[in-house]
Amino acid sequence: MEDTVNEKLLRGVRRAEEVDDEERRLKDRIWTEAKKMWVVAGPAIFTRFSSFGVGVISQAFIGHIGSTELAAYALVSTVLLRFANGILLGMASALETLCGQSCGAKQYDMLGVYLQRSWLILFMCSIVLTPVFIFTTPILIALGQDQAIAEVAGTISLWLIPVIFSFILSFTCQMFLQAQSKNIIIAYLAAFTLVIHVFLSWLLTVKYEFGLSGAMVSTILAFWIPNIGQLVYIFGGWCSETWKGFSMLAFKDLWPIIKLSLSSGVMLCLELWYNTVLVLLTGNLENAEVAIDALSICLNINGWEMMISLGFLAAASVRISNELGRGSSRAAKFSIVNIVLTSFAIGFVLFIFFLFFRGRLAYIFTDSTEVAAAVDYLSPLLACSILLNSIQPVLSGVAVGAGWQSTVAYVNITCYYLIGIPIGVVLGYVLQFQVKGVWVGMLLGTLTQTIVLMTITWKTDWEKQVQVAKQRINRWSIQSEQQAKDEQNAINLENSTY
């Protein structure tokens, strides 16, 4: 009898020890995953805040030059520059998929080849976009813009052409380094650039009074200085495993990467243009000036918060692509849960914060009580947008990491443009809910997209995704190895003839 009691006690002790060990292992896994996530997310968030700040600083100094210059810069930066930025950033995100999965599979030599291929694709895309910036003035006049603003906007657009080409190196080098979790150097460069930009903007526009030309020179340098630093870091031996020098392989097998890049570009552009449609719809409502002022304040706050979400998007893309390339579906799923919960927790805190402060935050941007009241009225929608932004970009990052860009592009078209915008038009115009109705419709589109992406992520066979990633990596790496052998044989044959 005593033996039976002792056996039961021993079994109970063993079960308790097993539970303790399992909890300890789970805590270790969470801690390890959190460190891997923040290695990417932390610098990515800071870098995006800094990049966003470059535009704010430029606009602030140009605003002191003149109201026409400010209006022209705001028009070019929010429409044309954002348009080009969205296309190039979207197409560059194909590199996140390829580099992340190759890094996870330890096919390190392929990262440099993918980087060079992406440079070629984005360079060709930038050439196609350049005429829009050359002919900005006639385009804006044809669209009914004020001629004085359109002429200054045309001058600013010419200055911004070097900025467009800076995006080629900026986006691709960032994604190349992020895939290896080496993006802390990007954060240091971003911080250095921000300080230099403030100093140069003051020196050239205030001290020496070069006006618009001075402000634009400082802006161009602010975009190119980090690129020079990143290239020095990559070429200087700090990426010796992944950068083996320039290769002719970059010119071969481009079509599959072009298709993935186009899918990525469409996916991201559809998201970035969604908020632009919100502003355009608001401009046609009653008391449009107050509505646009209030909405611009809300979108400005939302834009700053979005930098956090985009940092988690980068982390999700890197972590999922790394684990799929490594062949671990279990680790990929664990990463998704960890990143989504972390981002949602931060979003929920900000959700409560903006619900509490409401219209009082508007006085940071305006002295108008009417605009502040409108911001107070829109604050619940702003808070809901922030909450959704804490989940949706992470799921988009999962899609990029897994290579689902084309699928998400279709989801975006349906949810944003066939559900969100039509509902917003009906609520805002037909039912006369004005800007609040338009925003509610847009939020419903984002909510629908989030639910669809969550469903796709939940129901995905991640073991199958591991196999898909392996096939993608093996296909291109095998081709590249064979091409490299052929090149070497040709060189050997040539040498033997002399």
Q: What is the pLDDT of residue 22?
A: 62
pLDDT category of residue 498 using cuts at 50, 70 and 90: very low
Residues 397 and 470 in one domain: yes
Q: What is the pLDDT of residue 232?
A: 95
Residues 191 and 275 in one domain: no
Model pLDDT for residues 230-280, shown as the tens digit of each residue: 999 999 989 888 998 888 887 877 777 777 777 777 777 776 666 666 655
Residues 243 and 276 in one domain: no
Q: How far is CA 51 from CA 301, 354, 421, in A?
A: 15, 24, 29
Place of tokens 């604050």: 379
Is the whole model's pTM more than 0.85, yes or no? no
Mean pLDDT for the stretch of residues 82-110 = 84
CB-based contact 388:446 (threshold 8 Å): yes
- Domain for residue 352, yes or no? yes
Residues 273 and 160 in one domain: no
- Domain for residue 119, yes or no? yes
Mean pLDDT for the stretch of residues 286-308 = 70
Mean pLDDT rounded to a whole number for the chain: 82
SS (H, E, C) 139-160: HHHHCCCCHHHHHHHHHHHHHH
Check pLDDT > 50 for residue 497. no
Tokens linked to 494:
């040539």
Amino acid at 13: V
pLDDT category of residue 21 using cuts at 50, 70 and 90: low
Q: What is the pLDDT of residue 130?
A: 95
Model pLDDT for residues 39-69, shown as the tens digit of each residue: 888 888 888 888 888 888 888 888 888 878 8
Q: How far apart are CA 96 and CA 92, in angstroms?
A: 7
Q: Where are the beta strands (DSSP E) in 263-389?
A: none
Residues 191 and 77 in one domain: yes
Tokens linked to 43:
């610098």
- Domain for residue 410, yes or no? yes
| Total domains in the fold of the chain | 2
Residues 45 and 120 in one domain: yes
Residues 245 and 284 in one domain: no
Residues 319 and 248 in one domain: no
Mean pLDDT for the stretch of residues 407-428 = 85
Residues 94 and 228 in one domain: yes
- Domain for residue 58, yes or no? yes
- Domain for residue 157, yes or no? yes
User: How many H-runs (helices) and E-runs (strands) does the chain carry?
Assistant: 17, 0
Last residue of a domain, which of 224, 252, 280?
Answer: 252
Amino acid at 59: Q
- Domain for residue 485, yes or no? no
**Domain assignment of residue 383, given as a range:** 263-478
Mean pLDDT for the stretch of residues 449-472 = 89
Mean pLDDT for the stretch of residues 430-437 = 80
Instruction: Name the nearest CA neighbour of 275 among 44, 443, 52.
Output: 443
b/e 104-121 (16+ beta carbons within 10 angstroms → b): bbebbbbbbbbbbbbbeb
Best-predicted range by mean pLDDT among 59-68, 84-93, 444-453? Answer: 444-453
Residues 143 and 40 in one domain: yes
Residues 84 and 176 in one domain: yes
Best-predicted range by mean pLDDT among 89-93, 212-216, 427-431, 433-437? Answer: 212-216
CB-based contact 194:50 (threshold 8 Å): yes
